[in-house]
Structure 1
Amino acid sequence: MLPRGLRWDDVRAFLAVAEVGSLRRAAVLLNLSPNTVRARVARLEEAVSHILLERWPDGARPTAAGMRVRDLAQRMRGAAIDLFSDEPRYELRRPGELRIGASEAIGSGWLTPRLLDLQQRMPELTVSLMCDYDVQTERSDELDVGLLFRPPANPELMVSKLATMHFLPFASHDYVRRNGVPTSLDDLLNHRFIEQEAPGVRSDLLNQLVGSERPPGFLPIRTNSSLALFWAVASGAGIAFMPTYVMGVTRKLVPIALPAQFKFELYYYYHPAARTSDPVLKTIAWLRELFDPAIYPWFRNEFVHPSEFGPAMRSEGNVVQLFEPMIGDAI
């Protein structure tokens, strides 16, 4: 029996908002009106005597109390499914191996330095990180846990929002010394721009900013690799849009002050049969630590300019120190 005043429908509404990061998206998922979802969340907050969600113009995220309730609610949901399900126990995609899928940028640039920490939490397993240039296609048939920049289309998957990625134009200090910085979007055409072209990457946004007619030499390099993009910019080849978290891993890049800023939501997903799998649950807990907006401000819903990161904020998670062995002189 649930405690007095606590209704499962309210818990379910809150859990949907907490997992997708948006009241409106949760309403669509639950086939309810946004007002009904809002009322149920408010009723749950009253029942537990805590504010569970922080509301922002672009969505919502759990508070510290909300994270605790979310985790409990997910376990409640898993237990309820187990009670009425005849599904066999979840088996990892490959015996003895935990498989994680992510984009090349996130996999190589953010997850890799901490993979050993995850592996040490389950020393009996091999942790396989599968990086992909395609940032929009889910691969639940070959992965135990996957990361995507949009909710997977498969309605049977367990999905939760993990972070918000903010993008700004960046250049190297060397490029700025040699070429200066563009003072407007029109002036950007007088500079050199590095473009990434890959499945799911919004290359069309460049056309919206500067148009499709560009002077010779404007686009000296195009690549499908985010790592190649990083090295091209770090070596002074040009300007490119990059996630603001690069300022947490390198000292060589500088954000360019242009009226252009983008953001994308990052989600994790896993098979519903894995909701009680110890390796999968440990992986999800590890991911939440790595993308905790309280520690890493570049993953918050609201935009935090890199100039506000500061030495204290950058060192809070020892991010630069963590990446120094990997990128050496580039930082």
Structure 2
Amino acid sequence: MTTKKVPLADLDWDDLRLFLQIQRSGSLSQAARQQRVDHSTVSRRLGQLELCLGGPLFERRRDGLKPTELAHLLATHAEAMEVAALGLQEKLGGGERAPAGKVRIAMMEGIGTTFVARHLAPLLAQHGGLQIELVTSATVVNVNRREADIFVSFFEPQGQGLACAPAGSFALYLYAAPQYLAAHGVPASLADLAQHAFVGYVDDLVQLDAVRWLDELVQRPRMRLQSNSMLAQMSAAASGLGLVLLPKFSVVHETGLVPVLAAEAKVTRTLWLSVHHDLQYSGRIRAVMGYLQQLFAAQQPWLNGPPDIAPRG
């Protein structure tokens, strides 16, 4: 018996939303949790969708689900429908309506944990209807695929449909624990750094060239400890394991670390905010984007200032 294919225009929008959740999470179980249904329900609905489309949407592998060509084709149309639905929802809500709803912001762990999270209270106090999801990621976040509404990055993201804008910059400085400097001496020049141990990122786990900042100061640094977590690097350096290059937005002043070669060992990065161009006029997105732009602008003197100044406000 042959099952008649359903035209794309007649497919159930709820099933298409479920498909997008499965594609983005790569897991039926995670999609089930997001939908608040059991795994068997998600599997059944996916099977029905695949039957209607006349082919599989995912290859089942041990390491997760891999989208097929049919899935990529369907995702293009489903994401366009999703953006259109969100835009319609915003317009039906009225232009003067207070910003409300969920906004997902993605960024690296360090800036998210030690800086942005500490400054979100005024935004949420001003807009009581907003709900923020702060997601930390060490990889490029694809806002076109709705992995996040707003992406805060240290580089300009590339891709069609993106609205990107620089939001300031920040400095990075070398730090060390007093006990490390007492045991190994204080470097007097950049050339002296070749004689010292360092704490930094795990090379083969770095997916963003923008965080390879230590390479700009030291060629082939002698690594004592490596971690994919900036917070772990900071803690390890504070215990005396070696020198570490940290951004100004980190809470270095709370760890006991002291600056090293502050006048010479300085690296800078630009902050970028990106959003899908179809969402940039949404009230909730504008409210959060505007707040982040104001936050980074107000903190520029500190973010780019000398390493021994505590943060403002």
TM-score (norm 2): 0.60
User: Which of 131, 151, 157 is the matching residue for 1:126?
Assistant: 131
232, 237, 246: which one pairs with 1:233?
A: 237
Aligned partners of 2:105 and 2:151 also within 8 Å:
yes
Tell me the SS of whatever aligns to 1:111.
Answer: helix
Name the residue aligned to 2:66.
none
Matches within 5 A, 1:50-61: none
Question: Residue 223 of structure 1: CA displacement?
Answer: 0.8
Q: Does 1:200 align with 2:201?
A: no
Contact 1:247–1:253 (Cα < 8 Å) also in 2: no
For residues 145-176 of structure 1, give each alpha carbon's deviation from its aligned partner in whole angstroms, at most 9, with x where no partner exists.
11111111114211111121212211123322
Aligned-partner Cα distance in 1 for 2:253–2:297 = 16
CA-based RMSD of the aligned residues comes to 2.9
Q: Secondary structure at the match of 1:275?
A: coil
Amino acid of the structure 1 residue aligned with 2:115: W
2:147 aligned to which of 142, 148, 151: 142
Q: Is the 8 A contact 2:169 2:300 kept in 1?
A: no
Name the count of aligned residue pairs. Answer: 216
Contact 1:196 1:223 in 2 (8 A): yes
Q: Which residue of 2 aligns with 1:257?
A: 261
Q: What CA deviation, in whole Å up to 9, does each residue of 1:21-71 have, x standing for no partner?
A: xxxxxxxxxxxxxxxxxxxxxxxxxxxxxxxxxxxxxxxxxxxxxxxxxxx
Amino acid of the residue matched to residue 199 of structure 1?
Q
> In the alignment, what sits opposite 1:211?
219
Q: Distance in 1 between matches of 2:115 and 2:247?
A: 11
Q: Out of 173, 176, 182, which is 1:171 matched to?
A: 176
Provide TM-score, normalisation by structure 1: 0.57
Q: Which amino acid in structure 2 is aligned with residue 256 of structure 1?
A: V
Q: Bigger radius of gyration, 1 or 2?
A: 2
Q: CA deviation at 1:210?
A: 4.0
Q: 1:109 to 1:203 in 2, by over 3 A?
A: closer
1:204-253 CA-to-partner distances (Å, cap 9, x unmatched) read 665564433x6xxx321011111111111222221111113346753622
Q: Which runs of 5+ in 2 are unaligned?
A: 1-82, 91-99
Q: Quick one: distance in 1 between partners of 2:101 and 2:126?
A: 14
Alpha-carbon distance in structure 2 between the residues aligned to 1:251 and 1:96: 37
Matches within 5 A, 1:80-99: 89-90=86-87, 96-99=101-104
What percent of counterpart residues are identical? 24
Change (3 A) 1:230 1:127: same
Shift of 1:199: 1.4
Tell whether the 8 Å contact from 2:143 to 2:150 is kept in structure 1 after alignment.
no
Runs of 4+ in 1 over 6 A off after TM superposition: none
Q: State the partner residue of 2:194.
A: 189
* Structure 2 CA distance for partners of 1:209 and 1:292, relative to 1, 3 Å: closer
Closer/same/farther in 2, CA of residues 232 and 154 from structure 1, 3 Å limit: same
Gaps of 5+ in 1: 1-85, 319-331
Distance (whole Å) between structure 2 residues aligned to residue 126 and residue 203 of structure 1: 29
